[in-house]
């Protein structure tokens, strides 16, 4: 009974941390709960939400994907070069969106194939692919920035429906798709089986290698979409566009309660994790905390959130 109660509290820890943050910030600044600020929070959370949908599946398997920034950057550069811009003569409009997702999927597929076929640890494989993507993006542009002049493409993130940015609706759709994959497909069940006990999963017939490859490819599709959205939001594409995305993505997944050892967590947990990170950053700005202090506070609160959510009985080396 006591163990069950402690696990329930631990599973609720991310939500409790989010509520506590909201209460503390709202008590110090009334603007926090204003409609304009809430919309600002949703807009800031949109792209991180898309990225964590991919990263969550990888971490649920007990693996890690460090290629986020590289894939996002290369996809953003590709998307910006396919729409009307000042670098190429191409003007393919929204074809750039599925093209970026396809590119991301192929890079994710490369991650999965190298990881599985060559038996290279996932953190090394994805780290290498990530650096390679940044290098390719830099080589293509020669250090320059692609300026997007396609206003329709920019509407992907800047346009609004019911006064809510389109990017938020896209992120919501991604969460729904990820939840359906997790709850209603074999891949979703296989991911949990692999993350919980890979040896047992093999014995009951789970295609472990194929699932790993498919999950890395799926994650890449989400990263590719995130890259296209980043280019649309900023109106440009360059090799350093995605700096900081890796930290936010992995932090949000873990703060949301998904175990690095695999098998525990969900995409909805990761939604809570993203909100914790975004609310924390927004609240510190509203409270007038100095930027260098913000980093320290963010780090301490992240450690607190993870320590509350962590099930120490399942600690294991990250695969």
Local mean pLDDT, 10-residue blocks, the chain (319 residues): 56 83 89 91 96 96 95 97 94 94 98 95 95 95 92 91 94 97 95 93 94 98 97 94 90 87 90 93 85 76 64 50
For residue 143, the model assigns a pLDDT of: 82
Token couple for 6:
């402690």
**pTM over cut 0.85:** yes
Query: Phi first, then psi: what are they for 143, rounded to 5°?
Result: 90, -5
Q: Where are the chain's structural domains? A: 10-314
Distance in angstroms (rounded) separating the CA atoms of residues 13 and 274: 14
The pLDDT of residue 177: 98
DSSP-based three-state secondary structure for 235: coil
Phi/psi for 160 (5° steps) reads -135, 145
Q: What is the pLDDT of residue 10?
A: 65
Which phi and psi (to 5°) does residue 51 adopt?
-70, -40
Decide: 57 and 175 in contact? Cβ < 8 Å: no
- State how far the Cα of 243 lies from the Cα of 316, in Å rounded to an integer: 29
Give the burial class of 270: count Cβ atoms within 10 A of its Cβ; 0-12 exposed, 13-18 middle, 19 or more buried. buried
Whole-angstrom distance, CA of residue 218 vs CA of residue 51: 11
State the maximum Cα–Cα separation within the chain, in Å, rounded to a whole number: 66
């Amino acid at each position: 009974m006591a163990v069950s109660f402690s696990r329930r509290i631990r599973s609720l820890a991310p939500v409790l941390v989010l509520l506590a943050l909201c209460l503390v910030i709202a008590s110090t600044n009334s603007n926090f709960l204003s409609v304009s600020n809430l919309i600002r929070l949703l807009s800031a959370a949109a792209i991180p939400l898309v990225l964590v949908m991919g990263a969550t599946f990888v971490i649920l398997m007990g693996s890690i994907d460090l290629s986020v920034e590289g894939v996002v950057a290369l996809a953003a550069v590709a998307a910006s070069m396919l729409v009307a811009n000042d670098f190429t003569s191409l003007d393919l409009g929204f074809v750039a969106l599925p093209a970026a997702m396809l590119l991301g999927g192929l890079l994710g597929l490369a991650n999965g194939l190298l990881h599985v076929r060559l038996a290279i640890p996932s953190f090394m494989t994805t780290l290498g692919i990530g650096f390679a993507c940044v290098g390719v993006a830099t080589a293509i542009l020669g250090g320059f920035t692609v300026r997007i002049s396609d206003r329709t493409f920019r509407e992907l993130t800047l346009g609004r429906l019911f006064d809510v940015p389109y990017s938020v609706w896209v992120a919501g759709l991604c969460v729904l798709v990820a939840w359906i994959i997790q709850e209603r497909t074999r891949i979703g069940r296989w991911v949990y089986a692999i993350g919980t006990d890979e040896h047992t999963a093999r014995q009951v017939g789970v295609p472990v290698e194929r699932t790993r490859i498919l999950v890395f490819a799926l994650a890449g599709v989400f990263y590719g979409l995130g890259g296209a959205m980043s280019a649309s939001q900023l109106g440009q594409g360059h090799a350093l566009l995605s700096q900081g995305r890796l930290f936010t993505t992995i932090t949000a997944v873990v703060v949301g309660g998904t175990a690095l050892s695999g098998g525990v967590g969900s995409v909805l947990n990761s939604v809570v994790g993203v909100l914790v990170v975004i609310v924390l950053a927004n609240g510190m700005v509203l409270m007038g905390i100095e930027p260098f202090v913000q980093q320290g506070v963010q780090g301490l609160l992240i450690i607190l959130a993870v320590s509350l959510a962590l099930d120490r009985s399942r600690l294991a080396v990250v695969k």
